[in-house]
Structure 1
Amino acid sequence: MTTMTQPVDIEGRRLELSNLDKILYPEHGFTKGELIDYYARVAPVLLPHVRDRPLTLKRYPDGVEGKSFFEKNVSTHAPDWVRTVPIETPESSHSRKSADFALVQDLSTLVWAANLASIELHIPQWTVGPRGERRNPDLLVFDLDPGAPATIVDCCEVALWLRDELTDDGLTAYPKTSGSKGLQLYAPVQTRSDDRTNDYAKRVAEKLERRHPRRVVSRMAKKLRVGKVLIDWSQNNPKKTTVAPYSLRARSAPTVSTPVTWSEVEACENPAELGFVADEVLDRVDEHGDLFESLLTRARPSL
């Protein structure tokens, strides 16, 4: 089978884009070319949120209905201008205990990643310094996951409770959809240890479970989630990653993990109201700019 390629120059760097007509989302006819185009167009608001954060790619070479795999270690076939950083991976099932993660610092690297059919981009809540040294977490995240028949509408109610708790502690929360079934809350912070955000998030989640035992669960067992919203605090573990803002998701439609306003969260009465696909997100960026821009602030409260 012949691979069709198209050479492009991006920021003075040459790339060979391949199989642009390949359909990655069969139900919507969304192609690899459209995926690359989306990431190129959303780059101005996406790149600041992934910069200096080691990237885990979730690749779907045969589309969302085919097999997928997480890629942490950058391929030896990557261009030499793709910046990488070695990160320990002691939990890896392979003999190698570290991996060379890509740092997506610019448009050309983002397009390179998209050309690998990297539908989803996942990042940690910490950054690396100029010499590749790992910094302490600078983001606090809560991943709200509804257990059927609960939906994102239920997540919105829990998000409002969470927002109030964080406000009482001097933190400011910003919501985004997961691009799948749930909602995620972020708060910019500064910390002095790796475990501070994880410990704090667990305490808050357990507190809300005690206060709303019929609506909220903080424990991971799936049998406990039915009809409730799991507040997944464990995404703050330094070894874990969360889907990046503006990342596409591998659902039946090309949905996006989309920053939203608190007004939208408060008004949500139907899950469809907080479901956005690629074109809609680009329109939202044109209208609202980056609703997550405040996460990039240098003035971060101590946690």
Structure 2
Amino acid sequence: MVGADTEVVVIGRRELADGVLELILRGVDGELPFWRAGAHIELVLGEGLVRQYSLCGDSADSTTWRIGVLKEGPGSTFVHERVRVGDHLVARGPRNHFAFKEAPRYLFLAGGIGITPILPMVAEAEAAGAEWRLLYGGRRRSAMAFLDELAAYGERVEIRPQDEFGLLDLDSALSEATPDTLVYCCGPEPMLVAVEERCAALADGSLRTERFTPKPVVGADEAFEVDLSVSGLTLRIEPGCSILETVEKAGVNVLSSCREGTCGTCETPVLEGEPDHRDSVLTEAERADGGFMMICVSRARGLRLVLEL
């Protein structure tokens, strides 16, 4: 589950690249919750805005968090234009559905602001003495964040701005992946789809992705029933209405954020029934297990689900 709300104060603010802002956050009450590479936090920004940002600093630093914010959409525009050093914000989390796993070899693929969760992974891979390579693309060099930090890793990092090199050569990069290589990818949807297509033949679990926008929804919306084991309610989920919306209307409080299946905040235990997973968070193994579902977008494959709510 998502951790409790944490009040943080902005102690650092600087422009990392064109349209990318770095914020350094410190806990008002001292030590911040522990996190590992791949984790993100949610910032409560006011005016009904709650947005998720990957942590991209040093996970061993328990006193500060670092995030990179691309100016794109109302939430990030709020951060760029209104958040200043000294401001107090509420953060939720950290939460991690893009967890960094131990492996002898890694291939990291990042596009644009997708470099943020990859950056601490690179640091952990380096510290562990693993073999790794990073292919990092963006529209242009001036819009690509953290180039100064990545330069320290030398030739293991390939910087490929599109205006200089064209689209990333994913075929070449993935052709070198051995069976014991973990592939981590974060970036825009076309890049993720292209990587998923090319990795279809890899062993299950070899590719791990994180999305900032939801996958296209596949499947019809049929009505079904949900039994809530804790509250004792039985609810009918109508076509076009999510489980989350229905349980909220029934007075059941559920922590949620993105409402589009990308953040994992509304993850709910499934006690009976088969979920129709439509999120962009769970791995194929987690979907097959069926023990949890994101009730903001996912539905039922049958006529009934029993949820721990």
Q: Which has the higher helix share?
A: 1
Do they superpose with TM above 0.5? no
- TM-score calculated relative to the size of structure 2: 0.29
| Larger-gyration structure (1/2) | 2
Structure having greater relative contact order (Cα 8 Å, sep ≥ 6): 1
Q: Which has the higher strand share?
A: 2
- TM-score calculated relative to the size of structure 1: 0.29
